[in-house]
Amino acid sequence: MINLGGIVFHIDEDAYALLNHYLENLKKHFSKQEGAQDILNDIESRIAEILTEKRPETKQVITAEDVDEVIAIMGNPVEIEQEENTKKPQDAGENLKGDKRFFRNPDAKVIAGVCSGIGAWFHLDPVWVRLIFVLFLLAGGSGILVYLVLWIVIPEAQTTSDKLEMRGEKVNIRNIDRSIRAEVSELGARVGHMASESAATLRRAGSGSGVFFEGVGKGIVQLLSYFWTGLVFLTGITLALAGLGLLLILLTYVFGWSDRMFWDAEFSVLSLPKLANLTIGCSMPVIYLQLVLTTVVGIPAFMIFYNGLRMVFRFNRIKHLGFTMFNIWIVGIFLMAWTGMRIYNLYKFTEEKQIEIALEKPGSDTLNINLMADDPGLKYLRNEKLLLVDDQKAILTGDHEILLVPGIRFEETSDSLFSVTQFTLARGKTRMEARQHMAAIRFQSAAMGTSLKLGPYARLQKEECWRGESVNLLIHVPKGKFVRFDQQFHDLKPDWYYMMNSSEESIFKMTENGVELTTSASDSISSPADTVK
């Protein structure tokens, strides 16, 4: 066995001897060079990466042929020395080009290196990329969100190999050596410049004051370092908890671990599987929507959690994880857009029908509205109401039948007669399908004397999905006249704000301010409990 870059490989004797001889030659070649250990570490990491990529899962032992391939890719130090002495300057860049990968550039970063990484990928000056982000920032602030997402999903180029791949250069001995020499040279220049400035400052301030200010400066730097470490730790905990919480909520809702994800005293919002089965399950596999939502929302949540853990525990990043997740997320975005178009097409065409319900005594002072006593839907009156979309409330029976709660609205009329208008609506992929859904709705109403009798629910065809069907009643009430609802409407609750207070019956009067709840149709309004304009 041999350990390369922290990875243990099983290797046969011939391959071990060949690889060991190659590594010894590398050590001799770089022994007198500044930054030799960094160069050797990066070379070992690259060799480990090549062996990992080329080794299939069924092959556990590295052979001499594998080592020969590694040497062919990385290059031999003896050959490099000969080429450096004989190769023409214009040919020196021929072996620089290689596979390019997306990284954040830490060497030219202002915040996180996103813009400089994009500039390296497209061979642009990072200034232009930063200018584009600033323009997006001014146009609604979208640049901040895009920058944060890219910061999370794009890995930082930490090793020399990463930086070479970021620039599209081959990861071999020549380029690793050249890159580290450049970094060491640049670092030396920076240190020399800082030392010169410090020496000049001390000479101007005097040796005594220089020592004093140096101590104060070190103290401030150390204090800021502690503050920054604590801030990073707290930020990491916050991100980890936020990402984990978002993941749990998402998975609970998307995969239906709780049948009722959100609820209150009157209405419930179903988990995604049940809601999707009611609305699109007749035309599209629900599992497909679950996977798309998990990809689009779950990947950012996971990366927030992952980076939060990294900030807390300071472990090395998982190689290629961010880039892989970003690619999957982009695919998920396209699939989400395509899915949205498919769902839109299911509800594309709308069919609406309006009918006038004839009242026997429209000129009376009070219109009594009751539920039909013989309607079979009364047995579901106190069942839990499910909130669909468009403020539609429904009940799902044990026979897989959807019962829609009709909506009721009031409007003042200019004459002295009551009138009731019924609006029925349905949607579908085609106009013909929308009309078929419309024809399948069953809702009962009948006028008897001063009373209007209504069925408690509009019934849809069994085993069918909800396609935007709705039944709404608009009651035109003359000013100063009353509408009395039967006490059963408190259980039906066709409109929450009309039926908020439980009592034996609800009486409303049309006033100049709209419909107001009152206590008696024979009295004027006393202490109105609710007003609806």
Tokens of 440: 């399948």
Output the pLDDT for position 66.
73
Average pLDDT across each block of 10 residues of the chain; the chain has 533 residues. List them in order. Answer: 69 74 71 65 72 60 73 64 50 52 73 79 76 68 70 74 68 60 58 55 52 65 78 87 90 77 56 82 85 92 90 80 89 91 91 93 93 89 78 81 90 92 94 92 92 93 86 93 88 66 74 80 41 41
Output the pLDDT for position 480.
92
Which among 325, 258, 263, 338 has a CA at the least distance from the CA of 294?
Answer: 325
Let me know: does 513 contact 484? Beta carbons within 8 Å.
Answer: no
Tokens of 428: 């579908």
Strand pairing class (267-270; 260-263): antiparallel
What CA–CA distance (Å, rounded) separates 215 from 2? 48
Output the pLDDT for position 526.
36
Output the pLDDT for position 81.
56
pTM: 0.53
- 372, 390, 442 from 489: Cα distances, Å: 11, 21, 19
What CA–CA distance (Å, rounded) separates 54 from 23? 19
Domain boundaries, the chain: 230-346, 349-532
Tokens of 273: 């599987």
Tell me the one-letter amino acid at 252: T
Q: Which residues contact 275 (CB under 8 A, 6 or more apart)?
A: 269, 388
Buried b (16+ CB within 10 A) or exposed e, 497-525: ebbeeeeeebbbbbbeeebbbbeebeeeb
What CA–CA distance (Å, rounded) separates 236 from 319? 20
What CA–CA distance (Å, rounded) separates 174 from 75? 8
Phi, psi of 49, rounded to the nearest 5 degrees: -65, -40
